[in-house]
Structures are given as C-alpha cells and as structure tokens.
Amino acid sequence: NYKKGLKDYYKNYFPIGVAVNMAALKGADSALIVHEFNSVTPENDMKMGPIHPKENEYNWKNADAIVDFAVKHHIKIRGHNLLWHNQAPGWMFKNADGSEVSKEVLLKRLKDHITTVVNHYKGKIYAWDVVNEAIDDDSTKFMRNSMWYKICGDDFIPKAFEYAHAADPKAALYYNDYNSEHPAKREHIYKLLKSLVDAKVPITGVGMQGHWKLNDPTPELLRKALDEYSSLGLKIQITELDITIRMPRSRPANLNTQANAANANLLPVPDAGFTPELEQKQAAQYKMVFDIFRQYKNVITGVTFWNLSDKYSWLDSRGGGLAGGAAAGQTSSRTVRKAYPLLFDENL
C-alpha cells in the first residue's frame, strides 16, 4: 500500500537494514525486504561456526544465497561477524590430540579464517563486524574471559582488524557490542576503542547493537554514547535494533544506577500480548531513538533492525527478552512471552 519504503524516507540519512536468514529470502518476507530496506545482515550464516564448521571445510551455501539475493536487488550487505565467543566452532581452539592450541596457532587459524571469508565476499560486503562482544558485562572486569582472550590476551582484537583490512582494504570495519550506552560498559568500550585508534588499528567505527527496551536507553544515555564514540573520530552504526515490550523484573546488579532509576517505575509486563498501550510506548521509544539518529546523521552510517517482523525474533525464545528468559522456564507452552520488538507485525 505504501509507494515509498523506509529506505526512501531515509535516503538522505543512512541505509536502513534488516537481519535475514534463509526463510526471509522468499515470498512475502522477501518482497517486504526489497521494498523497505537497502541493507541486509545475515543473522547467523556468516558466523564462524556455521560458515567454517571444520578446519578445512567452509560452508558457503546459505551465506552465498543471502549475498546473491542482496546483489540482485542492489541491497548493501553488512558481514556479521568475523570473531565472537559465541557460535565459534570447537575445533578452532583444539589441537588434534584435544589439547588447547597455543596463541601462535590460534592467531594463524584466525588469520586464515578472516582472510578466506573476507576475500570470498570482497567487493560485495561493504562493512564487517570484525569483533563482536569482547567486553565483559561485569563492570568490575574489562575484557570478556572468552577462549580468544584466554589464549591470546587482548592481542586478538587488533590482529582481527589487521587481517580483515589486509583482505579487503575498502571494507569498513566495526567493533560491535550490546549495552553500549550503559555508562559502565560504555566506558570500557570507549577505552578499548581508544586503544585501537591510538595504535592506528584499521577500525572504521563502532556498532551499537541496540537491543533496547521501552524506556532504555534514555535520550540522555543514547546521546552521551553517540557523542563519546564519535569523539574518537569513529563512525557509528546501529547494528541490531529491536525494542522489546517486556521489562525485566530486576536489572542485573552490574548495570549502572542511572539506568536502574530510569527503569524503577516499570513493572514486569503481564503476558497480555501486544496491547495498544504497549504499542504506543514502543512507538514513542522508536520515535525518540530515530529523532536522535537523524540528528547524528554525520556519524551514523547505518541502522539495521534485528529481523523483519514480529513473526520471528531471537527474543521470543528468551521469554521476550526478560532476564532469565527460557532458562527460567518462561517459554514453556503455558507462558510464551513474545517480544513484539519489530516494526512489522506477524502479517507484515
């Protein structure tokens, strides 16, 4: 019914993207993607585990299908991601005898992986999430104690950027993380980014994932993060935007007090579906963040939604994004709490 799509309304600002998987490449989903968006990110198919399941085996099938779809429809592609603690294949960290690899071996494997994958999509992928979520959630710690960190120390981060840059000097390279507007984590991400910039590591910018809630972040926290990161001369992309209608019962203790105060008046949302009241609150939050994005159009170089419609969201398998999620039994058949986090409803 709409002549113009989101991408057209935003053509003077930044590309509008969406995370996709194989199921989205056909039928009504694909038609909606082509109409509304001019950027895609594969939700899972380029991650190290799926694309590189064994040392000498790459599985290009799904990722290639997504890239072919995007190229055919003149849609830009963000690559996600070259290094993460999650969805990393077990073989990466082990020798043939099962013992843990040395730092030298791990960096060599990382280099082979990044070089091969970036090269495979050279000229087609305009931006890569090179390192994903390397900072710890616990504000008393700095780096996440992943296998990468355990074996390599923090060297793996600059190395990953250098390998990616060598493979495709034209690709924009991002560090990507969540809760990147919460003060304690923001300071740690800033510290990491500053060290990379100071060491002249080839990094283009920071991906703020944007897994947000009805009143989190506040406008103040969002602006502060955009100001701080851009003060380093870095670009910013909002890489995984969704706004769940669910609020956690209590904030994890390690999150900052300002965000705690901002959320104190929000009671857990009973499982009454997507009420008009919630829809209105969500619309207000989307409006708030997009008003700010437009004001920062000189530093924001892309905004990507984490999936197309409320038919499917990663949050649904986590109780709508409530703390504890599925692990706390919140997605049993009696209490499925969907998150309704996206712009389009189940009927698109």
Q: Which residues are catalytic?
A: 240
Is the Cβ–Cβ distance between 215 and 222 less than 8 Å? no
Residues from 264 through 303 that contact ligand G3I (CB under 6 A): none
Measured from the CB atom, the residue of 132 and 263 that comes closer to ligand G3I is 132
* x-or-dash string of contact with ligand G3I, 134-173, rule CB under 6 A: ----------------------------------------
Q: Least distance to ligand G3I from the beta carbon of 282, Å? A: 19
Evaluate the omega torsion of the peptide bond into residue 81 and state whether it is cis, within 30 degrees of 0.
yes
Tokens of 89: 């294949």
- Binds ligand G3I (CB under 6 A): choice among 209, 282, 304, 309: 209
SS3 266: coil
Q: Can residue 324 be called a binding residue for ligand G3I (CB under 6 A)?
A: no
User: What's the token pair of residue 22?
Assistant: 């194989």
Which residue, 13 or 60, is less far from ligand G3I as judged by CB? Answer: 60
Whether the Cβ atoms of residue 132 and residue 176 lie closer than 8 Å to each other: yes
Task: Between 54 and 74, name the residue whose CB sits nearer to ligand G3I.
Answer: 54
- To the nearest whole angstrom, how small is the minimum distance from the Cβ of residue 281 to ligand G3I? 22
Q: Closer to ligand G3I at the Cβ: 131 or 203?
A: 131
Pick from 86, 102, 145, 295 the residue near ligand G3I by CB under 6 A: 86
Amino acid symbol at 131: V
Is residue 240 part of the contact set for ligand G3I (CB under 6 A)?
A: yes
- In the complex, least distance from residue 132 CB atom to ligand G3I, rounded to whole angstroms: 6
Pair 260, 251: CB distance under 8 Å:
yes
CB of 258 to ligand G3I, least distance (A): 23
Residue with smaller CB distance to ligand G3I, 176 or 301: 176
Nearer to ligand G3I, 283 or 326 (CB): 326
Task: Select from 44, 32, 83, 17 the least CA-distant residue to 238.
Answer: 17
Is position 41 an interface residue for ligand G3I (rule: CB under 6 A)? no
246-265 positions binding ligand G3I, by CB under 6 A: none
CA distances from 205 to 37, 50, 56, 186, 237 (A): 22, 25, 31, 14, 8
Least separation in angstroms between residue 239's CB and ligand G3I is 8
Rounded Cα–Cα distance for residues 26 and 146 (Å): 37
Pair of tokens at residue 279: 């829809």
Assigned token pair, 320: 């709508």
Distance CA 182, CA 246 (A): 18
Name the 3-class secondary structure at 54: strand
Residue 314 binding ligand G3I, by CB under 6 A: yes
How many residues bind to ligand G3I according to rule CB under 6 A?
Answer: 9
**Of these, 30, 44, 115, 139, which contacts ligand G3I (CB under 6 A)?**
44
- Taking the complex as a whole, the smallest distance from the CB of residue 303 to ligand G3I amounts, in Å, to 15
Strand extents, DSSP E, the chain: 16-20, 39-42, 76-83, 127-132, 172-177, 205-208, 211-212, 235-243, 300-305
- At which residue do the structure tokens 């994958």 appear? 117
Which residues make up the interface to ligand G3I (CB under 6 A)?
Answer: 43-44, 86-87, 132, 178, 209, 240, 314
